[in-house]
Amino acid sequence: MPKKRGYHHGNLRQALVEAALQLIEVRGPTGFTLSEAAKQAGVTPAAVYRHFEGREDLIAEAARQGYEIFADLMQYAYDKGQPSALASFEATGRAYLAFARKYPGHYIAMFESGVPVNRTPELAKVAARARGVMERAANDLSQHIAPEKRPPPSMFSAHIWAMSHGVVELYARNSPGTQSPFSPEDLLETGIGVYLRGLGLIGQDA
């Protein structure tokens, strides 16, 4: 709990990140402004420059923290699914959607704010960590596929990543109009199910 009293804020840097995340969540990636984030943190816009190089830098930090949480969540899901390769893989897919739901501000900062993932080395690194978890899960899983018909693990992790992202963007946002009778969770669950059956990894009754 930052002490708001007094001239010095105490924890302004993080407070700004959180203000930014909240604004991004409510107003979209465009709606966010540095000035407003400052105001929401109870501080003058100029104060932001003590902690960040500018607007972009603030968003990038929000995205970085998002990737950090995201990677942790993926890792946790992976571990929880172990020792079953299949369970781990499914769990990481589900974690993707769960993250998007639980941390919408972070998600938008990461994927919709236009911040390039290799804007800074730290950002690139943590993003790679998240991707790494999914690829490891895919790699584990590919051991169970007959070698001659085994697609590259990075390929089917990309498939799941793409489907997850698509479900989030098209069906999990409150984008009115693209309504679907199915919940995003169902959509992703069944989608991954069909996909895994296509790989011959689960039976036809699953």
Partner DNA sequence: TGTACATCAGTGAACGCGCGTTCACTGATGTAC
CB 98 within 8 A of CB 158: no
- Give 8 or 149: the residue with its C-beta nearer to DNA: 8
Out of a second copy, DNA, none, which partner does residue 144 contact, by CB within 5 to 8 A per kind? none
- Give 12 or 188: the residue with its C-beta nearer to DNA: 12
Out of a second copy, DNA, none, which partner does residue 72 contact, by CB within 5 to 8 A per kind? none
Cα distances (Å, whole numbers) of residue 54 to 44, 46, 49, 51:
14, 10, 6, 9
Out of DNA, a second copy, none, which partner does residue 171 contact, by CB within 5 to 8 A per kind? a second copy
- Give 98 or 199: the residue with its C-beta nearer to a second copy: 199
CB atoms within 10 A of CB 195: 16
- Give 30 or 143: the residue with its C-beta nearer to a second copy: 30
Out of DNA, a second copy, none, which partner does residue 154 contact, by CB within 5 to 8 A per kind? a second copy
- Give 47 or 124: the residue with its C-beta nearer to a second copy: 124
How many CA atoms are closer than 13 Å to the CA of 9, on its beta-carbon side? 17
**2: CB partners within 8 A, 6+ apart:** 9, 10, 11, 12, 14, 15
Q: Is 175 helix (H, G, I), strand (E, B) or coil?
A: coil
Q: Residue numbers of the site for a second copy (CB under 8 A)? A: 28-30, 111-112, 114, 116-118, 124, 127, 149, 151-152, 154-156, 158-159, 161-167, 169-171, 175-178, 180-182, 187, 190-191, 193-200, 204
CB of 32 to DNA, least distance (A): 7
Out of DNA, a second copy, none, which partner does residue 190 contact, by CB within 5 to 8 A per kind? a second copy
ω into 83 cis (within 30 of 0) = yes
Cα distances (Å, whole numbers) of residue 110 to 34, 103, 127:
17, 11, 9
Strands (E), 34-163: none
- Phi, psi dihedrals of residue 181, rounded to the nearest 5°: -70, -5
Q: Residue numbers of the site for DNA (CB under 7 A)? A: 6-10, 12, 33-36, 42-51, 54-56
CB of 51 to DNA, least distance (A): 7
